Structure 1
Amino acid sequence: MKRRSLGSAILNGKCPRCREGNIFPVAMLSYLKLTEVHQECPHCEAVLTPEPDFFYGAMYISYAFSVALVINILLILNYVFGDPEISVYVITVIISNFLLLPLMLRYSKVLYLYGVGKLKYDPEKSQSLK
């Protein structure tokens, strides 16, 4: 079996221990069940939520994503479109936040789980439980 790289596992929302099982019950870009995370990895049965409210810390990462998005939109609109009306800024920020909401929420949880969670990659877990 081919080993999945760390970057590929993070981009696809896979379990930090086996890098095979999905962290979320639905696709990464889905608007359904935005906050739901598997309690255990469906592949290696690692506990993905070690305690209640574990993912509250992911709000800081999500906030950083939102701030980066707003700054980038403001810069792009200002330099590319020559300082449009304030309503254009507001509407563009609201629409882009709505469109990227699942992406920002889910990747903040994935990054938080990989960064703060105690699960470390175990290649034998990814191969033995198939």
Structure 2
Amino acid sequence: MLKKGNKLYSILTGTCPKCHCESMYLEKNPYKLGKLFKMHERCSTCNTKYKIEPSFFYGAMYVSYGVGIAFAVAAFVISYVFIGTSLVNTFIAIVATMIVFLPIIIRLSRNIWINFFIHYDPKIAK
């Protein structure tokens, strides 16, 4: 389905955007909250620097807003439209979804943000 060379591969797996060979994060599991933001300095395969400049990932906050809205809309549609819960229960479902998926939203946003600036290079990939 998803193969190396596709930006979606890097975004969903959290791998290096240039070679897609190594995870950018020290801990792959985003629910280990103490290590949620911990990243390798560089890719060991292609030597790509992940933090292009100081505060580089502040831009990911703007992306996280859009990703969060997508998760909230999905929670609304599932709970209100498909399941048919009341508006109060739908609101609770949206809040619960946002809390539960916060680590995933943060990681996805960072992955999307870095993939705006670094592009896959098939010559480097193994």
TM over 0.5: yes
Q: TM-score, normalised by structure 1?
A: 0.79
Counterpart contact for 1:21–1:44, Cα < 8 Å: no
Amino acid at match of 1:75: V
Where does 1:1-130 land on structure 2 (aligned, <5 Å)? Answer: 4-6=4-6, 7-32=8-33, 33-86=35-88, 88-115=89-116, 117=117, 119-127=118-126
Structure 1: where are the runs of 5+ without partners?
A: none
Q: 1:12·1:28 contact (CA, 8 Å) conserved in 2?
A: no
Could you list the runs of 4 or more consecutive aligned residues of structure 1 that deviate by over 6 angstroms after TM superposition? none
How far 1:81 moved relative to its partner? 3.6
1:25-60 Cα offsets, whole Å, 9 max, x none, are: 111543331222222113222111111110111111
Q: Secondary structure at the match of 1:124?
A: coil
In structure 2, list runs of 5 or more residues that go unmatched: none
Give the paired residue count: 122
What RMSD in Å do the two structures reach over aligned CA positions? 2.0
CA drift of 1:90 comes to 3.3
For the pair shown, the structure with the greater C-alpha radius of gyration is 1
